[in-house]
Structure 1
């Protein structure tokens, strides 16, 4: 019936707006100490050039195969794993980061309501006109009016986003220049995107230009080429050390995410590079081929004996293969060499507990407390620390660790109960007692927000 189609147009528009506003909802975060360090080091000079506080800017990697990056509020840049896979150089990714910083400094997420508001007015007007046409007896015309109105509304909204994209391009070019980083990688990456669009059948015409949220790749390439080539940083060489680190994490990510057969095709046994050994180690580990995975880690350590991430990988393979006692030495060294990196420390603490040796309990508590002190938003570390306290018979602190873990997982009702139990058993006024109150307040506030939305 016309009325159902009528509503479908309305909901289609709002679905588009919602996706644009909340693109990260259904995507999982990938956390890895080495990868995060590389991304942060790639971003650091650009963050400084943008005039932002490095402590407030966060780079988050998402397990999503499409080629994309975005900001969605605050000073957080989300990068898809597919973008890392598509990039050949660290410089290419730096061009993307510079662009996203342009969105942050431009306040584009905060101005999102401007674009939605203009589109909403058109959408509502088309709704009223459609209703009026139906009431006047021209029911067959009403859906057409609605469709035209919704297309105009979406067009208005996408035109708004294209202006923001152009602004972010200009700001990104400025930040690359200030940081002394060449825009060559940015241009190379845009050419890749242009090739991807062509392979998918997009061509330059009014229809495709209308539906694209970004300016057409050819237009962006031409405009940015002129800007970048005139910049003194155009001929600046890439940082070889940063590129080597990027190549390793790219191979590591591929080995971790891809089907093992794909990994072996891209990195065959005949390839003796660091990247190939890294990727194959993960491929073998995913297939539970423990000895082959360990052979690859030993090959890596033969080349770089003190690389903490190779030591972490060896320990991880041993731990996840049911050999925690053998994993301890490598994980202890990796934790020490990274100055107690929280993610590595949480794996080390897990290995100590997994031995079921009471002699390791004190070290596990020390390591895990250090991990959560440096990164409180790590539910796995909180779970392990809770296990330590439970084994020691310290129920109040075990409940506090459970509350921390539960609130991070969005389990607010259990978190509130755990926090109250912890508060009741902890010494009044102690740091842990105060923290139990804070976690309880956070859980209670989240529950109230949930009730308000119903």
Structure 2
């Protein structure tokens, strides 16, 4: 009976699959960077148009995860792992992945995933009931057989469904690349990388190995797509040189930001004076508290491109985070101007204005930060800084509202609800901020109720 109890526990665990499988999205941290987000949006724009989705409704989100992955998890948002950017050699390869993920969105696969999980759970529940019934009748072996058969059928059905989805999405991605006039070479080369990765990890490429997989074999995907894409008129289309240069820079920047400084400096030695190498080293030196070297790299980048807002942002960030906020104001103000007040860059500028501890700068900080959160409400850092400004000026109700905005995005729902209620009580009745405090309170309350329902 101990074995039977174990099987029943495993069957019950399978019932929770649909609840568990999407949790990593919430658990992983999101990376926000103005330059990288602009690049991803520009890479996706022609593909979104070819897919006939509304451009403004598709969101690209960068995830701080070193694995090679991208996924869709509800709505029209594509999550791209930092590891995928690092593994890709070209912007065209990333576009191949984005085209594939757009196929998931247009086919509504996240919704259908939920439907299929329910079907698989139905098979498991039925086998579980049969097994329990047999056990109560004293037929322990029959009970085990019923439960094991049910588990195998449920998992096989679910995996086959997922493989079919992935195969059809590959074809949809190929259509979007063709419609956008973008070569499919990158899609092919990236799938070949995945195949080589599988081989190095010891994953079998035999046909019988596909049964237990969530995705089709990479070799099969490459063969199918190559036949299709090589016939497309866009196959020989040259890569976008400007997009590729931006990709190489963003990739180096991301590497310097995420990797250990010693690894970055080994991969981008000082003898390499290219812009991507300087970009990576600047972040490595900054992480290693070697401020003079970080500033030297930033100045070398600005000598090459004085009006590059991202290089100016880098210099301002190094100065600000090394305790020199007054010196950071000029490059950050210029970066904000050149980027047309990009919310992320403006948020750092607002932080620098506050960090000077000069009350004469607080009015400008409030103006800059209010504009930043108006364009991008999902910016907890800017909300926090805005709350600091309000608190310094004695506007406690609006400081509590800004804190509530930040807390709800950080999933600290009890504190968010408390701050939203306090803000609502202190704000003018019927004012826009009063209404917003109600909205935040409703959101926090709804999230708390959802968490209670899961228990």
Q: CA deviation at 1:206?
A: 5.2
SS in structure 1 of the partner of residue 411 of structure 2: coil
Contact 2:15/2:121 (CA < 8 Å) preserved in 1?
no
Distance 1:81 1:220, change over 3 A: same
Match for residue 293 of structure 1? Answer: 294
Q: CA deviation at 1:359?
A: 1.4
Query: Structure 1 stretch 437-446 or stretch 252-261: which is displaced more?
Result: 437-446
Take 1:92 and 1:81, find their aligned partners in 2: how far apart are those partners?
14
SS in structure 2 of the partner of residue 48 of structure 1: helix
Match for residue 351 of structure 2? Answer: 350
Query: Structure 1 stretch 401-410 or stretch 175-184: which is displaced more?
Result: 401-410
Q: CA deviation at 1:296?
A: 1.0
Q: Which runs of 5+ in 1 are unaligned?
A: none
Distance 1:46 1:108, change over 3 A: same
Match for residue 176 of structure 1? Answer: 177
Are positions 1:39 and 2:55 aligned together?
A: no
Match for residue 395 of structure 1? Answer: 396
Residues 434-445 of structure 1 mapped to structure 2, 5 A cutoff: 434-445=435-446
Match for residue 283 of structure 1? Answer: 284
Contact 1:133/1:141 (CA < 8 Å) preserved in 2?
yes
Q: C-alpha offsets along residues 235-257 of structure 1, whole Å, 9 cap, x if unaligned?
A: 11100000000000000111111
Match for residue 189 of structure 2? Answer: 188
Contact 1:71/1:77 (CA < 8 Å) preserved in 2?
yes
Q: CA deviation at 1:260?
A: 1.2
SS in structure 1 of the partner of residue 109 of structure 2: coil
Residues 39-438 of structure 1 mapped to structure 2, 5 A cutoff: 39-140=40-141, 142-205=143-206, 208-438=209-439
Take 2:212 and 2:22, find their aligned partners in 1: how far apart are those partners?
17
Q: Which runs of 5+ in 2 are unaligned?
A: none
Q: CA deviation at 1:11?
A: 4.4
Distance 1:265 1:8, change over 3 A: farther
Distance 1:230 1:418, change over 3 A: same
SS in structure 1 of the partner of residue 41 of structure 2: helix
Take 2:66 and 2:12, find their aligned partners in 1: how far apart are those partners?
27
Q: CA deviation at 1:141?
A: 5.5
Take 1:53 and 1:116, find their aligned partners in 2: how far apart are those partners?
29
Take 1:268 and 1:14, find their aligned partners in 2: how far apart are those partners?
52
Q: CA deviation at 1:295?
A: 1.0
Contact 1:44/1:54 (CA < 8 Å) preserved in 2?
yes
Q: CA deviation at 1:4?
A: 3.4
SS in structure 1 of the partner of residue 315 of structure 2: helix
Take 2:357 and 2:114, find their aligned partners in 1: how far apart are those partners?
55
Take 2:12 and 2:41, find their aligned partners in 1: how far apart are those partners?
39
Contact 1:407/1:439 (CA < 8 Å) preserved in 2?
yes
Take 2:22 and 2:28, find their aligned partners in 1: how far apart are those partners?
14
Query: Structure 1 stretch 121-130 or stretch 277-286: which is displaced more?
Result: 121-130
Distance 1:117 1:427, change over 3 A: closer
SS in structure 2 of the partner of residue 67 of structure 1: coil
Distance 1:437 1:121, change over 3 A: closer
Distance 1:427 1:351, change over 3 A: same
Distance 1:12 1:418, change over 3 A: closer
Q: CA deviation at 1:306?
A: 0.9
Query: Structure 1 stretch 234-243 or stretch 406-415: which is displaced more?
Result: 406-415
SS in structure 1 of the partner of residue 235 of structure 2: helix
Contact 1:115/1:161 (CA < 8 Å) preserved in 2?
no
Q: C-alpha offsets along residues 123-165 of structure 1, whole Å, 9 cap, x if unaligned?
A: 2233234334434544356445433431221111000011111
Q: CA deviation at 1:16?
A: 4.7
Take 2:233 and 2:225, find their aligned partners in 1: how far apart are those partners?
14
Q: CA deviation at 1:401?
A: 1.2
RMSD: 1.7
Q: CA deviation at 1:298?
A: 1.0
TM-score, normalising length: structure 2: 0.95
Take 1:94 and 1:257, find their aligned partners in 2: how far apart are those partners?
22
Residues 9-48 of structure 1 mapped to structure 2, 5 A cutoff: 9-14=10-15, 16-48=17-49
TM-score, normalising length: structure 1: 0.96
Q: CA deviation at 1:113?
A: 2.9
Q: C-alpha offsets along residues 6-38 of structure 1, whole Å, 9 cap, x if unaligned?
A: 134314534554444444132110110000000
Take 1:260 and 1:208, find their aligned partners in 2: how far apart are those partners?
40
SS in structure 2 of the partner of residue 233 of structure 1: coil
